[in-house]
Amino acid sequence: MKQKLKITSSFIIIASLLILGHQLYMYNIHIETLQQLEAFKVHEYDKEIFFSVLTFLIGITMYIRSRRIKE
């Protein structure tokens, strides 16, 4: 149980960091182009970044709790 939780939380941490990194990269590179589009809403993109950060924090919390579990 403890090992599975560590593996799952590690996967969540790595995946959320990759997604967050990609979103920030795309945001920084393409922000000028995206702002020219009338359909683009910055607050929608900010929500995606917020959810990536939230997922990362959930993964960190899971990992910390998995270290405290006694088998």
Per-residue pLDDT of the chain (71 residues; tens, 9 = 90+): 778 888 888 888 898 889 888 888 887 777 777 767 766 666 777 788 888 889 889 988 888 888 887 66
pLDDT of 42: 67
Residues of the domain holding 41: 2-68
Whole-structure pTM over 0.85, yes or no?
no
pLDDT of 40: 65
Q: How many residues in total does the chain contain?
A: 71
Into how many domains does the chain fold? Answer: 1
Q: CB under 8 Å, gap of 24 or more: what pairs does 46-55 form?
A: 48/23, 49/20, 49/23, 49/24, 52/16, 52/19, 52/20, 52/23, 53/16, 53/20, 55/12, 55/15, 55/16, 55/19
